[in-house]
Amino acid sequence: MALTHQDRIDITDLVNGHGHLVDGGELDRLDELFTPDVTYDLHDFGRGELVGIAALRAAVEGAAGPVGHHVTNIVITEVDGASAAVRSKGIGVNADGTAGSVTYQDTVTHGPDGWRIIHRKVIGRRKPGPREVLERFGYSISDFSISIL
């Protein structure tokens, strides 16, 4: 069965709900977004995987994360009648005014309580600096001398 228009609205609301609940400190409502056995993949940030809502809640409670999570560019691709792949962009605004960007890769599933995220992979969106570009081509910053006239 193909995703209905209502399914797409519900999945979009699900993904958007993450920022509202986390930013509002409503961590006791994470079960409205995630399955009990959710896998939250933070390998790109050196934090491995969090498994289950309790682990996710504990990580959020102890973290100094962004004060504002903003989700955009949601793309939903049907996998089968009961699951879908969702890609979206996230912008996190920190208390000091700096911001960061991520890509969320979600797998959502439909159960008795509606759509829930069963797997989320968070990928940092980083523009490489000059050092990283040079290292990519096998150089070191010390290989170059710069003189100012």
Has residue 97 been placed in a domain?
Answer: yes
Q: Residue 139 is part of which domain span?
A: 5-143
Confidence of residue 147 (pLDDT cuts 50, 70, 90): very low
CATH number at residue 108: 3.10.450.50
Question: DSSP per residue over 45-60, as a string?
Answer: GT--EEESHHHHHHHH
Has residue 149 been placed in a domain?
Answer: no
Confidence of residue 96 (pLDDT cuts 50, 70, 90): confident
Predicted local confidence at residue 98, as pLDDT: 86
CA distance 50 to 54: 9
Q: How many domains does the chain have?
A: 1
SS3 content of the chain, % helix, strand, coil (to 5): 30, 40, 30
Mean pLDDT, residues 77-105 = 91
Predicted local confidence at residue 50, as pLDDT: 94
CA distance 97 to 101: 13
Percent of the chain with pLDDT over 70: 85
Secondary structure of residue 96 in the 3-state scheme: coil
Question: pLDDT tens digits, residue range 29-77?
Answer: 999 999 999 999 999 888 899 999 999 999 888 777 788 889 999 999 9
